Amino acid sequence: MQSDQPAGGENPTVTDQFAGSQEQPQVLICDPIAEAGLEQLRESCAVTVRTDASSDELHQVIDQYDAMVVRSGTDVSASLIDAAGNLKIVGRAGVGVDNIDIEAATDAGVIVANAPEANTVAAAEHALTLLLASARNVSQADSDLSEGDWNKSEYVGTEIRGKTLGVVGFGRIGSEVARRANALGMDIVAYDPFVGPEPVESVGGELCSFDDVVERADFITVHTPHTDETHHLLGASEFEAMKETTHVVNASRGGVIDEDALAAAVESGEIGGAAIDVFEREPPDPDNPLVQSDDVLTTPHLGASTTEAQRGVATTIADQVLAVLNGEMASTALNAPSLESEHIRPYVDLSEKLGQVLTQIVDERVEELEIAYSGEVADADTEPITRAVQTGYLSPILGRQVNIVNASRLMEKRNVQVVEQSTNVDYDFTSLIKITGRTGNGDEQVVAGTVFGDSTPTLVRIGQHRVDVPLESHMLLFKGSDEPGVIGHVGSILSRHSINIAGMYNSRETIGGQAIMVIVIDTEPTPETYEDLLDIDEIHAVDEVQL
């Protein structure tokens, strides 16, 4: 597949050596991007630019890198991801991710992020350029004149004012095309199964069925990704249903249109013309019927090829890479949730720690994890919080294998059902997250927490016991009887083993009844420490919790 190169030749092929020193995060640039993005990355990362590397070379060295940046020229296959032991993010400097195996990346916990906004205007403007050029036979007239033929009378075009533009796919680019076309006096009809009528009506258009768009439009512009569902979305039967004067424009993805059928429809006069910027195979074969046709205007995937767009996608993807390498979330991640606001970030940290606590204090395998949100947090987008709970629950078991990208899939593989509940009322806390782990024999363990004003994640409940424990790095959870002298005895043993107590929190059901004690400590206990603690008659169990 041809790489969509940056405009202006800002970033030629560079043959740097592959990664050496690991003092900084290592970033591999596999396809050319604008220099502005490289400069951004170089401020805090070691950047290797290898736009000439073969697939075999990438497989041999990819495990040295924390991030890789690609355009459409590099195949990020499942095998390449499998070889990438340290990879945290694949950044696509552009929109389409057909060349990235997102399923494999998700399974491996690798974020895939793109730059969906930066080239929107460039792509929309190019689609309109193709539309206008096709309407006025610009390509054919230019070719004739270049050969010395003044065929003015042969190329009578058609005005677009008052004509109907059919927009197939009303996302970012499709809606921008529609907005501009409406300003030029065109009527808009649109088809997109994933949007309601409001976005279309906001640009003076009408949301219709696919068949209506095909039959009514004088011009049709396609703006959908290429998927199994959209493969050859426009084919022989659709061209037959169009008006004889209809022009078809594709500046989205190759494969959405049946190229052989389109070439035949134009050649036979079944439709009025076509202008194509993308192909099912890029670069197209020399005998591709669309390239060979004098009646079809073709360009070599120029939709995003403006200086402004290339700089925009480069700096956008640099932002995403740097965010992930700094332990933050990528706002344009395709396989991980993004934060709707900074307000919920402390709850993401809280929920991951609550998940870690639950795993380390539950006695048997959990088969159901119930996450209940109450108070203000229930009104937020809770997907990143739920993912963080799952990450925290699995991390003591799986270690670095799990993160917010693959946690949900790993829970499914372990047959742990995740249930969410929300209510915007909580009488004790502004916001509360409660996690209940249920085992196969019906036992339950509950932990709950909140975030206080200084963003401190705090454990406020264990089982039926109310506590008030800042979630620190190391804790001991004691279960036993509420008897005099126990706290002093525990403190003496920890002191004898040179373990400093950073905080102590107690809770009991009734005087003399069951009690729990949580002690935050600075150093890890030895096996001998546990033996001495369990020799205390009133102590029934001691759980160690590491965060």
Point out the residues that are catalytic: 253, 282, 301
Phi, psi of 435 (to 5 degrees): -120, 130
523's tokens: 């150093």
Residue 234 near residue 223 (C-beta atoms within 8 A): no
d(Cα 327, Cα 317) in Å, to the nearest integer? Answer: 16
d(Cα 267, Cα 405) in Å, to the nearest integer? Answer: 49
d(Cα 517, Cα 472) in Å, to the nearest integer? Answer: 15
First to last CA, the chain: 45
Residue 15 near residue 6 (C-beta atoms within 8 A): no
Residue 386 near residue 371 (C-beta atoms within 8 A): yes
Alpha carbon 162 to chain centroid, angstroms = 40
d(Cα 207, Cα 356) in Å, to the nearest integer? Answer: 48
Render the burial of 2-16: b for 16+ CB within 10 Å, e for the rest: ebbbbbeebbeeeee
- Give the helix/strand (H/E) hosting 162: none
- Give the helix/strand (H/E) hosting 532: helix 527-534
Render the burial of 120-156: b for 16+ CB within 10 Å, e for the rest: bbbbbbbbbbbbbbbbbbbbbbeebeeeeeeeeeeee
Torsion of the alpha carbons at 80, 85, 86 and 89, rounded to the nearest 10? 40
DSSP 33: -
174's tokens: 């499709």
449's tokens: 């927490």
